[in-house]
Structure formats: C-alpha cells, structure tokens
Amino acid sequence: MEQISVTLINMDAVVTQAYTLIEDAEDYIVIDKGPGVNLHRNESAQSLVDVLNSDFAGAAMHLVHRLDDATSGLLLLAKNPAAAAELGALFANREIEKFYLAIADGKPSKKQGTVIGDIKKSRSGSYLLSRTRSNPSVTQFFSYSLGMGRRAYLLKPHTGKTHQLRVVMKSLGVAILGDRRYGPSTQDSDRMYLHATALRFTFRGEVREYVSLPLRGELFVNGDGGLAAALLDCEAPWVLEWPRLN
C-alpha cells in the first residue's frame, strides 16, 4: 500500500475493500474507511479493528474517535495506550478539527450558517435536534448548488454527538442522500453520502493535516459544478472563513 504523510488528496491512493492507508506514523495510523465498513464486530465475524490488527503486526490499534458504519473517510487510530490517551484527550478537549462532505436533495432551511442545539434520543431510537442548549451540539456548514435541486455540504462539527451531522442535516430539512434512518427508508442510493474529508490537529508539538477526498459513490466520483467547488474547499478547509458561532 502507498503511504502518504501530512496531506493527501487521494486521487492516487491505493484502495482496499475496507480502507485506504493515509499515514503510518510511529504512534498512530490514519486511514480512509470505506462506506459500510463496520468498526466493531456487532453481528459480524470481523471488524475493521480486527483487520487492522492483522495488517499491522505488533500494533494493538485503539480507536480514539468513531465513524458510523455507513460513513466513509478519515479515521485516526493509536498504536499504543499512551498515544491513545493523548489523542483521546485532544478529541475530548475539542482540539482536533474535523471536516465532512455530504450530498442531499431538496432545499435546506438555510444554505450556510451554524446549527446549535441539544441532540436527544427519540422514542423510535433515533435522535433529534432540540432547541434547548444544556449540552448542545455545534456544527458550521457551507452548501454548494449541484443543480436539479441537489446540494453538496461542507460541514465542520465542533462537538462529537451521536449521529450529529445526520441529525443536523435532517433538521435543515434535507437528510443526507442514502441515509435510510433519517431520510426515506426506500430511497435508491448506492451509499450514504457522508464522508470525513479532513483532520487537523497538533500532536507532540507538530501540526498534522490530512485531507482525503471520497473515492466511492457515483455522485462523489463523477460529480462536477458545485461539487467541484466543495472539493476544492476541502483541500484546505481550515483556512475558510467559516460562519460565526452564535
């Protein structure tokens, strides 16, 4: 597999079924997880962590953050307990910047801005966005027209609540394309169009920046127009002038 450090625009990356290796550092790895790949065993015989432990002999991979199974993109795993504690603290203290790319159909309630609110569990077992702010989720976003009533979204979550971006998109009136929990359960889509596209953080005195554009999904791979603009912004999304935090 090709190992690429610092920043990757992954048009030339080597892709496996489960993941693409972005960087193999001394204390951690960064991968691009494929859509539909499970982090935990759950009902499956093997998890992504099992695969990685097999592929990286001598390392005991530690998850320091999560992606939903249906979500693709950048995932950071520590190779040892000390690094896991350090990286986990960075996530807990919100010192790691995360950026996502999504696609949705329909007209959103607003085309850019900040969404703040508590995320609460509903009776159905899913989650919903509340107007209360006792322990709120915070998400900034831009959107880009793709034509034919479809838009691409560049999202920056400042918190890490369960299903946060999926719930936020639903609250805007435009569930993520392919999200059968928060959108139509019968919709025809080749994947859920949510991709973790960038990470930026400081680890042991060095700034680490990673960008990985989506490689799977017809609309991600063959999109143009507004999607091309969104992908261009993803090359360095931390330099954008993001909407104000209310």
Q: Are 178 and 166 in contact (CB under 8 A)?
A: no
Q: What is the chain's pLDDT, residue by residue, as a tens digit (246 residues)?
A: 333 333 333 333 434 579 999 999 999 999 999 999 999 887 777 899 999 999 998 889 999 999 999 999 999 999 999 999 999 999 999 999 999 999 999 999 999 999 999 999 988 889 999 999 999 999 999 999 998 899 999 999 999 999 999 999 999 999 999 999 999 888 889 999 999 999 999 999 999 999 999 989 999 988 767 888 899 899 899 999 999 887
pLDDT for 6 equals 33
**Residues annotated as catalytic (active site), given as ranges:** 68
**Domains in the chain, CATH or no CATH each:** 10-237 (3.30.2350.10)
Tokens of 14: 């080597």
Q: Are 28 and 77 in contact (CB under 8 A)?
A: yes
What is the pTM assigned to this prediction?
Answer: 0.91
Q: How many residues does the chain have?
A: 246
User: The tokens 């261009």 sit on which residue?
Assistant: 232
Q: Are 187 and 178 in contact (CB under 8 A)?
A: yes
What Rg do the C-alpha atoms of the chain give, in angstroms? 17
Pairwise CA distance, residues 157 & 94, whole Å: 10
Pairwise CA distance, residues 154 & 103, whole Å: 9
pLDDT for 58 equals 82
Q: Are 234 and 101 in contact (CB under 8 A)?
A: yes
In one letter, which amino acid is 187?
Q
In degrees and rounded to multiples of 5, residue 32 shows phi and psi of -105, 105
Q: Are 214 and 197 in contact (CB under 8 A)?
A: yes
pLDDT for 184 equals 87
Pairwise CA distance, residues 129 & 122, whole Å: 10
Separation in Å, CA 171 to CA 50, 113, 117, 121, 202: 35, 13, 10, 14, 32
pLDDT for 45 equals 75
